[in-house]
Structure 1
Amino acid sequence: MDRLRCMEVFIEVARTGSFAASARNLGMSRAAVTKHVARLEDLLGARLLNRTTKQVGLTEAGLMATAGGRQLLERYDAIEADVRDSTRTPRGVVRVGTPPAFGTYHMVPLVAAFAERHPDIQVVLSLDTGDANLVAQGLDLSVRITLELEDASHVAQPLAKAPQLLVAAPEYLARHGTPRALADLGTHNCLVHVIKSPTGIWRFTGPQGPASVRVRGTIASNFGDALMHAALRGYGISMHPYYMVSQSLDEGRLVAVLPEYAPEAHDVHVIYSSRQNLPERVRRFIAFLREWARTPPLWSVPRPATAAPRARRQADPAPTGRGALPRPKP
């Protein structure tokens, strides 16, 4: 039996001086009112009411319980109002988990734009390469980019597909040559992401359908940003989501390699614990995230007919039709 409810029933009996009247006001049976009061007396270890056939009076302990009980119920009502208000009014802190590269390149500007619309909400970004363990990390939600989600206990809403592509610096291709076929990757220094490709196998969809190749190289990492910087320095060929390398492609610092072969696209999900009782600040952030994820240039990979002149000259003197990607249209 709920102790707060017992106190509420007792306060009503103290106010009316009648079990019958209290039962009518509370929508309970007289027997239920009597049980609640008796339970409270057991909990407090004192008789609270003097009962006669004609009236109900408060004992000394009952007077103390009435004064303290009213304060208790008023405080509870205030707490309940504050908590309910916090779930409806968009203010407070939203804690968001995200992979490091995605968080650095895209979540930071997204959060800045969100803050302009909701200045009373603070967003705390947690950059990590692990799973979306919301409870252990104290997160409200997490953005994950993966082929599949292992934890089915959370709500996972798809945001977009994140297409990938192979890239290399023009300097690397000038020294080692440009791969003409998928099998050529086996003779190149390929920079492997050990979480996304733990077996060293890169999988693609090509002109003739699904294809794969085993690759190896002198540098591997669990951090995509490190591999991208290695590629920019001319150390090898790497595979990245388009959103991560689009600027470097546009600037000619990286060149698309074998663009007719599309690596497996990863799914972008927003993950949270439950749809029920979700604070309004978290709802607002999820809605903003979904709106932002519909931005086409972030996810779509342009398929060039010819390479950009600058990138083609540096990568390979012969015109191949495979080079830097053009600037995506806004």
Structure 2
Amino acid sequence: MDHLDAIKVFVCIADLGGFASAARAMRVSTAVASRHVAFLEQKLHTRLFHRNSRNLSLTDSGQLYLERVRGIVDELDSIEKMVNSANLEPAGELRIVAPVVFGFRALGPVIESYSKRFPKVRTDITLDDRGIDLVEDGFDVGIFAAHEISSRTLIARTLLAGRLIVCATPHYVDTYGAPSCREELSAHQCLVTPSEKTGVAGESAGMQQTAHVKQRNVVVANNIEMLHQLALLHLGVAIFPDYLVNDDIAQNRLVEIPGDFGLCGVEIKVGYASRKHLSAKIRTFVDHAAGHFGGRRENFDQ
């Protein structure tokens, strides 16, 4: 039997002056209320109530016990109301982790509109491209590429979807030509992430990339924005998510190179550790972010 529940029942009986009335208030049977008091009396090795057919009164021990536990029960009720209120109205610190480029290109408007809606929430944002464990690293919410989500306990919702494309500047293509398939990439200057430089299946811009070709790696960088800037400087061919370079292509700063490169689609998700006891700040942020993007194809440059 739960000790705290028994104490709450005892206080209610003392306040209402009867087992039946207390049982109704606590939404338990009279028999259950009696068992709670019996549990306490056995634990304390003393009687708490004088009982007869007409009257119910506290013993001296019962009066002393009531004076001490009433404050505990009242304080616990106050704490529970405070926590419940915090969960109903988003408040407090919300720790968010996101990929670096996504943070720079897309997260700002989401944070700005969320902060206006929920001013009592203080956002703490970390931009990091390394593997993050939300629980171990102490984050409330994470934004990830779909293939990076390996934990079975992580609850995730799609923010946006797109595709990977091979691209270069018009100047590069005019000077060196354009590859038409993944085997031809080995003859070109390639701008790659560390996981791509071995030529095996790896990640590009935080997305899964399935080309298995030994590349001529002119530059290796662990930040996709760095590769983006180098591509704009005509340094080589790179693989980017379409939403990162749609505006560059529209302005003819880059051109998409069509071909059979075996590239996968792109999906960005927002995730949190568990549905159990989900706080209002996490729930509202996930809903807000999902609503902002709507799972659509997105151009960060617009």
Q: TM-score, normalised by structure 1?
A: 0.73
Cα distance in 2 for residues equivalent to 1:241 and 1:18: 70
Cα distance in 1 for residues equivalent to 2:16 and 2:294: 61
Cα distance in 1 for residues equivalent to 2:62 and 2:142: 51
1:243 alignment partner AA: Y
Matched ranges for 1:214-229 at <5 A:
214-216=213-215, 217-229=217-229
Structure 2 partner of 1:76 = 76
User: Unpaired runs of 5+ in structure 2?
Assistant: 204-209
Matched ranges for 1:145-160 at <5 A:
145-147=145-147, 149-160=149-160
Q: CA, structure 1 residues 239+64, in 2 after alignment: closer, same or farther (shift >3 Å)?
A: same
- Structure 1 position 5, deviation (Å): 1.0
Matched ranges for 1:5-24 at <5 A:
5-19=5-19, 22-23=22-23
Matched ranges for 1:94-243 at <5 A:
94-131=94-131, 133-147=133-147, 149-170=149-170, 172-173=172-173, 176-182=175-181, 183-195=183-195, 199-201=199-201, 212=211, 214-216=213-215, 217-243=217-243
Cα distance in 1 for residues equivalent to 2:28 and 2:256: 76
- Structure 1 position 31, deviation (Å): 4.5
Q: CA, structure 1 residues 246+21, in 2 after alignment: closer, same or farther (shift >3 Å)?
A: closer
Describe the superposition over 1:19-55 as per-residue Cα deviations: whole angstroms up to 9, x where unpaired: 4554455454554333322333455x46352535455
Describe the superposition over 1:107-146 as per-residue Cα deviations: whole angstroms up to 9, x where unpaired: 1232123223333322222222244522112222222114
1:47 alignment partner AA: T
Cα distance in 2 for residues equivalent to 1:147 and 1:172: 31
Structure 2 partner of 1:280 = 280
2:180 alignment partner AA: A
- Structure 1 position 188, deviation (Å): 1.0
Cα distance in 1 for residues equivalent to 2:180 and 2:64: 87
Describe the superposition over 1:298-330 as per-residue Cα deviations: whole angstroms up to 9, x where unpaired: 259xxxxxxxxxxxxxxxxxxxxxxxxxxx9x7
Cα distance in 2 for residues equivalent to 1:52 and 1:202: 77
The share of aligned pairs that are identical, in percent, is: 24
Cα distance in 1 for residues equivalent to 2:25 and 2:185: 81
Cα distance in 1 for residues equivalent to 2:65 and 2:196: 63
Structure 1 partner of 2:267 = 267
Structure 1 partner of 2:206 = none
Aligned Cα RMSD in Å? 3.3
Native 8 Å contact 1:132 1:271 kept in 2:
no
Q: TM-score, normalised by structure 2?
A: 0.79
